[in-house]
Every structure is written in C-alpha cells, then in structure tokens.
C-alpha cells in the first residue's frame, strides 16, 4: 500500500450502462474541520465509437476464454484513454479509481462482474489502480449496489436526497434514524435511449420525442405492476432484469416508439415521486445528476407535476458526479475506511471494497 496523504489527486473513471463513453474526472479530495471536500479539476467523456459500443454490448453474450480476453482488452483500452487524458492535461494522479463496465449483475445469485481489467489499466498507465468495488459486498450477501451513497453521505450531505438519472434511476437519502438508504428506482436512460434508437436517434434530446407522444395507459399500468417496483430496499437492477422483464413488456404492446417514450417518461416520473415521498427530510432539496438531468421534459414532469424540490447543478457535476465518487471510493480504500454501506446494500457488514494493482516500478 502506498502511503496515505492529503490532499489526494485521483483520476476517477466510469463507464455506464448507456454506453455513451468513458467518463474521466481528475479530482482533488481532502478533509478539513467540516469533513471531506472535493474539487473536479479536469473532466472529459471519451465517447465509445460504434465498434466499441458493439463489442461492449456483445460481451454480455461471451463465454469463457472470449470473455476473459475481452476483460483485458477493455482494460488496456481504458488504460490508453487514461494515459491520453493524463498527457493532455499534464496531470500527475496519485492513483486511478476505476469502476469498469458492468456486464453481469446478479447479486441474488452471488455474483457481479465489471469488465476492464485493473491490471491492464495499471500496466498501461504505470500508476496504481483501485478497482472491483462491488465484489466484496456481494460476497457478504449484499446487492453490491448502489455504491454512490457513501459519497452522497460524505460529500453531499447538505441535500435532502441525491437522485441519479443514469442508465437506471437511483436515489440516496437518510431515513428518520439517520441511516443512509439507497436503491435503484427503475430504468431511465437505458430505456429511453433504446426507444430513441428505434426512431434513428442515439438519445431523445431534451425529451422532445417523448413530449410529442401520448401516454399509453394500459402499458403504463402494466409496467407499474412489475414486481421489482413493489419490493422494499435493499434492491438493485441490472441489464439482465431490463432485458428479461422490462423490454418484453414494451415490445408486447407494439406501440409507436414515440408513444412508448412518453409512457416510460411518465413511469419514471411517477416512480421517482414514490421514492421521494418516502424521504423524511427534504431540507436542501433533491440533487439531480446523471445524463437524465439534461432531459428538460423529464425534469418538467417531475417539477411541474409533482412539485419536487429539485436542484440541478452545473454540467460538470451533472455529468461527472459518479466518476468523482469512484475517485472518492478509491480514497476511502487507501485510507482503510468503509466505502460500501451495509444499510444500503443489505450485506452482513459494511466493507472496504476494492482491489489494488500497484502499477509498474521501472
């Protein structure tokens, strides 16, 4: 283990389920008398081109040797991109904290897997790499997700709740006993982007396509009846659930994509309202980040219809909050402090999740 120091300068890396690109955020993290503080110094999303999007998407179906080969191939690619980022901004990270690319997430079956070998990243960058943040929690009987709530608790405690509108929508807040609770609410951009692609668009910019559609009440009612939405936390979602439970319903109703977009947007807003209604303390408002925070129509549904106390920060925090928090999870790992909370995941205990690759010494 390299020696502890403050402030830390960490490169956080995150690739989400929307497959839009690899988010990189070079962050300064330190403690003062008020607690942990942060500053995002440089940040950038390096898009996945069509070839990489296809390879990542198809990796879900790989087996055995081919899957391991892809795991290392993606790690080397992530390492090359990290090196390009480091050279571009002339920075010197103390280490890299990488979430990787989630391919499989079945905590009830006892496993989770994020592709993008930390060893390959370390080999490419010659830097220490902390990675594989979810596996220990799953081994302890937890969901391995969400991981962001420890960052919400220590970096964003001035908000009543933190809502992330990424591939999945998830929320984090404190209950009446002061425990941090968090869970995945529902599919968000994963579903909206899929439907936009049926109309020849990669995303529904500002929700314009959805805003022109109408709500299919029968589909909306059927989606609301999905068992997951009625489960109590801890709970989390993965691509397996999306493809096996959610998508078949969308296809079963055989409605125009615009109508489906409007219906799913309505579903997201209703389920977010249900989640926010459970929050005992709303002081400071609900901080909204993730790609969905750029969807003005979706925000309109939340604000206009449900009067939610929504706080939308600047674009830097909207787009790179998760990369920042994975940098912070790496700091907690180095500090020997818990970075995964049992109250959030349902694990037997809180844990210091992650693996460390020291990097090259020559």
pLDDT digits (tens, 9 = 90+) for 96-113: 999 999 999 999 999 999
Q: How confident is the model at residue 175 (pLDDT cuts 50, 70, 90)?
A: confident
Q: Check: CB of residue 182 under 8 Å from CB of residue 151.
A: no
Report residue 281 as tokens: 């303390």
pLDDT (0 to 100) of residue 283? 66
- Whether the per-residue pLDDT at 362 is higher than 80: the answer is no
Number of separate domains in the chain: 2
Residue 90 lies in a domain: yes
Residues 128 and 266 both lie in one domain: no
Residue that terminates a domain, selected from 308, 329, 348: 308
| Same-domain pairing of 104 and 161 | no
* pLDDT band at residue 2 under the 50/70/90 scheme: low
User: Are residues 161 and 286 part of one domain?
Assistant: yes
Residue 316 lies in a domain: no
Average pLDDT over every residue of 251-273: 95
Whether 287 contacts 156, CB under 8 Å: yes
The answer to whether residues 277 and 337 belong to one domain is no
Verify that 19 and 126 share a domain, yes or no: yes
DSSP string, 214-271: ---HHHHHHHHT-GGGGSPSS----HHHIIIIIHHHHHHTT--HHHHHHHHHHHHHHH
Average pLDDT over residues 215-230: 97
Q: Which pLDDT belongs to residue 281? A: 62
Does residue 204 lie in a domain region? yes
Strands 355-357 and 95-106: unpaired
Mean pLDDT to the nearest integer, 18-35: 93
Asked whether residue 277 falls in the same domain as residue 158, the answer is yes
Both 12 and 49 in one domain: the answer is yes
269, 287, 308 - which closes a domain: 308
User: What confidence tens digit (pLDDT) does each residue in 328-349 have?
Assistant: 999 999 999 999 999 999 999 9
**Least trusted range by pLDDT, from 56-60, 222-226, 274-278, 320-324:** 274-278
Percent with pLDDT over 70 in the chain: 96
pLDDT over 90 at 280, yes or no: no
Q: Are 161 and 253 part of one and the same domain?
A: yes
Distances (CA, A) of 302 to 122, 174, 215, 262: 42, 21, 16, 13
Q: Is residue 155 part of a domain?
A: yes
pLDDT, greater one: 308 or 297: 297
Q: Which domain holds residue 30?
A: 8-143+321-357
How much is the pLDDT for 3? Answer: 56
Phi, psi dihedral angles at 29 (to 5 degrees): -130, 130
Label residue 272 by pLDDT band (50, 70, 90): very high
- 362 within some domain: no
Ramachandran class of 340: left when φ > 0, alpha when ψ lies in -120 to 50, beta otherwise: beta
Note whether residue 282 is domain-resident. Answer: yes
Q: Judge if 326 and 194 occupy the same domain.
A: no
Q: Average pLDDT in the 235-263 region?
A: 94
Q: Looking at the chain, list the stretches that DSSP marks H as alpha helix, in order from N- to C-terminal side.
A: 50-59, 64-89, 118-125, 135-139, 149-155, 189-197, 208-211, 217-224, 239-241, 247-252, 257-277, 296-300, 306, 315-335, 342-345
1 pLDDT higher than 60: no
158 in the same domain as 139: no
Residue 250, in any domain of the structure? yes
pLDDT of residue 92 exceeding 90, the answer is: yes
Residue 191 lies in a domain: yes
- Of the pLDDT bands very low, low, confident and very high (cuts 50, 70, 90), residue 282 is low
What sign does the CA torsion over 318, 323, 325, 328 have? negative
Q: Using the predicted structure, report yes or no on whether residue 4 has a pLDDT greater than 70.
A: no
What pLDDT does 231 receive? Answer: 95
Give the pLDDT mean for 76-101.
Answer: 98
CATH value at residue 224: 3.30.420.40
Among left, alpha and beta (phi > 0; psi -120 to 50; other), residue 57 is alpha
Q: Does 121 share its domain with 245?
A: no
Residues 111 and 239 grouped into a single domain: no
Query: 163-167, 176-180, 287-291: which has the minimum mean pLDDT?
Result: 176-180
């Amino acid at each position: 283990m390299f020696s502890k120091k403050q402030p830390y300068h960490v490169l956080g890396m995150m690739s989400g389920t929307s497959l839009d690109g690899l988010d990189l955020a070079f962050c300064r993290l330190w403690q003062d008398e008020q607690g942990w503080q942060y500053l995002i110094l440089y940040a950038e999303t390096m898009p996945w081109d069509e070839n990489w999007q296809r390879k990542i998407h198809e990796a879900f179906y790989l087996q055995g040797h081919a899957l391991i080969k892809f795991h290392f191939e993606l790690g080397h690619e992530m390492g090359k991109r990290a090196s390009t980022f480091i050279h571009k901004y002339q920075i010197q990270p103390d280490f890299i904290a990488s979430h990787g690319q989630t391919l499989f997430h079945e905590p009830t079956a006892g496993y989770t897997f994020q592709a993008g070998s930390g060893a390959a990243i370390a080999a490419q960058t010659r830097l220490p790499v902390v990675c594989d943040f979810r596996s220990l929690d799953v081994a302890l009987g937890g969901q391995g997700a969400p991981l962001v709530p420890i960052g919400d608790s220590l970096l964003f405690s001035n908000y009543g709740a933190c809502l992330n509108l990424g591939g999945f929508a998830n929320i984090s807040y404190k209950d009446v006993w002061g425990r941090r609770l968090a869970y995945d609410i529902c599919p968000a951009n994963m579903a909206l982007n899929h439907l936009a692609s049926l109309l020849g668009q990669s995303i529904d910019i500002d929700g314009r396509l959805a805003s022109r559609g109408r709500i299919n009440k029968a589909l909306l009612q059927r989606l609301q009846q999905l068992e997951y939405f009625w489960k109590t936390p801890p709970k989390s979602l993965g691509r397996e659930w999306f493809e096996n439970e959610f998508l078949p319903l969308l296809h079963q109703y055989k409605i125009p994509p615009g109508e489906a977009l409007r219906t799913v947007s309505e579903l997201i807003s209703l389920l977010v309202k249900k989640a926010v209604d459970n929050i005992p303390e709303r002081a400071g408002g609900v901080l909204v980040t993730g790609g969905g925070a750029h969807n003005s129509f979706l925000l309109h549904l939340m604000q206009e219809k449900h009067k939610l106390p929504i706080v939308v920060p600047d674009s830097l925090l909207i787009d790179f909050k998760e990369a920042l928090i994975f940098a912070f999870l790496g700091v907690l790992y180095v500090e020997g402090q818990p970075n995964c909370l049992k109250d959030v995941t349902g694990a037997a205990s809180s844990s210091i999740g992650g693996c460390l690759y020291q990097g090259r010494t020559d």
